[in-house]
Structure 1
Amino acid sequence: MYEILKHRQIEKNSPFPRRFWVRPIFAVAKRFQQGDSENLVAEMRQEEKDLQKYFTYFRILPEYFHILYAIVKPFIEKQNVIREPISAKTRLEITLRYLAAGDSQVSPSFAFLVAPNTISKIIRETCQKIYEALYDEYFFKPSEENWKKKIGEFETLWNFDHCMAAVDGKQVEIQVENRSARNSRKISSQV
């Protein structure tokens, strides 16, 4: 009880008091009027000349999007209980855009007009459901035989010895700790 009262007191003293259940820019009507899913993406999909932009935006061709959507839709579709849910198509588009851009979750929030906390939940749930739906048929099964096969493929196709996997198209920010490089040499020399 104390925690609830304390939280309410903090909200009252906040310079930005809570005023909305859903911010007006994230309202369903705004999402249909101005959101990427109903406008930009729909336009790129309709115009044959914009398939390259569609691929740049999602890193997937529209026909493969539809295949993935058909597989994943039953797992990510939400029921209409109190409010109209975000469609399964938009959920998949948000997730693919986030994965393709390598940006923060704020960007798809403004692009698709969905609250950032909802974006976070959508991305996490959709990635999990994609993994579960595709694992048996498409994902690599780790075994000594399969690893040797992959190493052989890399050597044959790309002339890379002792390589079994590669990552392409995703930038990952790596933050180095203050003491890591210098102290690791000191520690190893002390041992």
Structure 2
Amino acid sequence: MLEATGLSYAYAPGRPALAPVSLAIAPGEIVGLFGRSGIGKTTLAKLLAGRLPLQAGTLRLDGVPLPATGLRPVQYLAQHPVLDMNPRWRVGRIVAEAGPPDPALAARLGVEPAWQRRFAHELSGGQLQRVSLLRALRPGVRVLVADEISAPLDAIAQAEIWRVLMTLAAERGLGILAISHDRALLGRVATREVSLAA
């Protein structure tokens, strides 16, 4: 169980980007997060995944603070994954950065072996999200924070990616925070939905 209590954040003194928020994500649960633009959804996502330092509140996994170093059990996936990829590396090196990928998972995600020889900018948005998922979903990862990951994709790619994620949630007990402006999507994929208040 990932438990966040009283998390808040300000990028500058006196200018809070995220009002205090508490939430919990159980193993195998897909929690949909909805809220207007600028309310702090991405800030919350980055706090949960350790991309921003905690300024206030607590963050625990099974009652224990998350590790500050090494492979983090909470992984963040952005709307535009190319921004998290070294443009000078080929996809094979990007995927292998955190260790050898799982061939079975690569097949389920539809990651083709030929992509390994390409650079990130040579892949489509849907292909890049599949590569990002393969890189993020390492053994030991317990929670995936998916920040508008299917917003730029066509309906077919969107459905394929979420079908795999829903299956992984059920099979592996992977907890997922699904952040989206699309309430219809959250209604299809989420176990329950929460909103950030102004």
Q: Which TM-score applies when normalising by structure 1?
A: 0.25
Higher relative contact order (CA 8 A, sep 6+): 2
Greater strand fraction, Structure 1 or Structure 2: 2
Q: Which TM-score applies when normalising by structure 2?
A: 0.25
Greater helix fraction, Structure 1 or Structure 2: 1
Larger Rg: 1
